[in-house]
Amino acid sequence: MQDNWEALERECRECRECALCQTRKNVVFGVGNPQAEIMLVGEGPGANEDAQGIPFVGKAGQFLDDMLAIISLDRTKVYIANIVKCRPPGNRDPLNVEQDACIGYLHRQIALIQPKIIVSLGRIAAMRLINDKFRITKEHGVWFDIDGVRMMAIYHPSALLRDPGKRPETFDDLKSLQKEIGRVCQHTELNKPW
Ligand code: URA
């Protein structure tokens, strides 16, 4: 049977496949444009996201919006989701069992959106989406072709808030993203850098 967005969202919001359903306030399904050519994937909701049901609304989210603005992107031009849709208590990394229980929702979101580009935000997303030995310090900004989708990882915005020394490398990665968008996307409007 063909999947559809409404059914997927409903199923996800009712999910009880792992223990995170017992402590969540809200399922954080995703935000942005489901017709976008670019997806950004984080690891999992924090306290603010859990309270509001929207990804990246805390300090890291504000910083992510600032990063997107550098290359004239915003939430109307991308779709943002997470590897796990419910908050891991105490902001710990999502456990493998939790990721395994949840990853099917992300794969279905990807199948419906059919993005040209997926950017992993941080190590956890990159290890799930690019390869399980991914080293963020060595491989951020590197492009991979996976199932016909251009993929790369950048440092997680929280890591950039903790360690501003990583920001120049991320600026280069964003410029590379901007260039790749110009190359492979068809309807994503960017203010040209020239
Ligand atoms: N960090 C994430 O990885 N995802 C969010 O939605 C918020 C913070």
DSSP per-residue codes, 5-41: HHHHHHHHHT--SSGGGGT-SS----EE-TT-SEEEE
**Cα 23 to Cα 128: distance, rounded to the nearest angstrom:** 24
Ligand 1: distance of its center to the CA of 56 in Å? 5
Q: What is the pLDDT of residue 189?
A: 87
Distance 187 CA to ligand 1 centre (A): 27
Helix, strand, coil % in the chain, rounded to nearest 5 = 45, 15, 40
pLDDT tens, N- to C-terminus, the chain (194 residues):
789 999 999 999 999 999 999 999 999 999 999 999 999 999 999 999 999 999 999 999 999 999 999 999 999 999 999 999 999 999 899 999 999 999 999 999 999 999 999 999 999 999 999 999 999 999 999 999 999 999 999 999 999 999 999 999 999 999 999 999 999 999 998 875 44
Using the mean position of ligand 1's atoms as its centre, give its distance from the Cα of residue 67 in Å. 15
Ligand 1, atom 6: closest residue by C-alpha: 55
10 Å Cβ neighbour count for 154? Answer: 27
pLDDT score at 194: 44
- Ligand 1 midpoint to CA 121 (Å): 9
Burial (CB count <10 Å: 0-12, 13-18, 19+), residue 111 = exposed
Any ligand 1 atom below 6 A from CB of 56: yes
Beta bridge partners of residue 39, listed in sequence order: 79, 118
Burial class (CB in 10 A: 0-12, 13-18, 19+), 78: buried
For the Cβ of 88 lying below 6 angstroms from any atom of ligand 1, the answer is: no
- For ligand 1, the distance from its centroid to the CA atom of residue 193, given in whole angstroms, is 29
Q: Which atom of ligand 1 is nearest to the CA of 124?
A: 3
Distance CA 90, CA 34 (A): 30
Cα of 13 from ligand 1 centre, angstroms: 17
- By alpha-carbon position, which residue is closest to atom 7 of ligand 1? 56
Check if 43 has its Cβ closer than 6 Å to any atom of ligand 1: yes
| 82 close to ligand 1 (CB < 6 Angstrom) | yes
| Residue 143, pLDDT score | 98
Of 108, 104, 132, nearest to 120 (Cα)?
A: 132
For position 26, what pLDDT does the model report?
A: 98
Q: What is the pLDDT of residue 86?
A: 98
Q: Rounded to whole angstroms, what are the CA distances from 161 to 96, 110, 136, 156?
A: 26, 28, 16, 9
Q: With contact defined as beta carbons under 8 Å apart, do 28 and 55 qualify? A: yes
Helix (H) / strand (E) containing 57: none
